[in-house]
Amino acid sequence: MKKWEVRGSKKIFESRIFSITTKNCFHPEKKLSWDFSVVEASDWINVIALTPDDKFVLVRQHRLGTDEFCIETPGGMMEPGEAPEACAIRELREETGFEGTSVHLLKKLKVNPAIMANSISFYFIDGCVKKTSQALDAAEDIEVLLIDAELVPGMIRDGSIDHSIVVTGLGLYFLSAHNRFGNIQFL
């Protein structure tokens, strides 16, 4: 198996959040030329935040892709030059007003290598307490939820939490050495 050779590329769309580039590629074994589209975006972070009394700090917001309210974990895009851990701390504070006592990388994953060029880093922040008010971006409208840890797997099973990135992050937490709820069945 050989890699496609990129023979040319052209940015066909650009917005504040992402851009789309068309890449003209050639496969040396198949002798085939093909145009592929790639979504380019900043790397993302996602935060699994837990309070000292075992409540997950979640957020609820309207998502225009599905036109539905979604229950999610805090997260967002990294700023240019920003370290992933610093972004996790910042996004948790901005979206919820919570800060924690320890920060742990759970996993860094590729978002969707078939069409996307970015990564997402999942962080667990423990000992989270409310320290300040939310500092939301102009287009954000976020409700903070504190959910008992034992309720979260049931919310995934019944579809109350159905965002794939959020389910992945929570799954990484429940599979990690940081999980202090061994008696809770995740799925």
Domain 42-175, second-level architecture: Alpha-Beta Complex (3.90)
State the pTM of this model.
Answer: 0.95
Q: How many residues does the chain have?
A: 187
Q: For residue 186, what pLDDT band results from cuts at 50, 70 and 90?
A: confident
Mean predicted confidence (pLDDT) in 103-110: 98
Nearest to residue 104, comparing CAs of 171, 177, 180?
177
Q: Which residues pair with 14 in a beta bridge?
A: 19
In tens, the pLDDT along 124-177 reads 999 999 999 999 999 999 999 999 999 999 999 999 999 999 999 999 999 999
Per-residue DSSP letter, 151: G
Contact 38/20 with Cβ under 8 angstroms?
Answer: yes
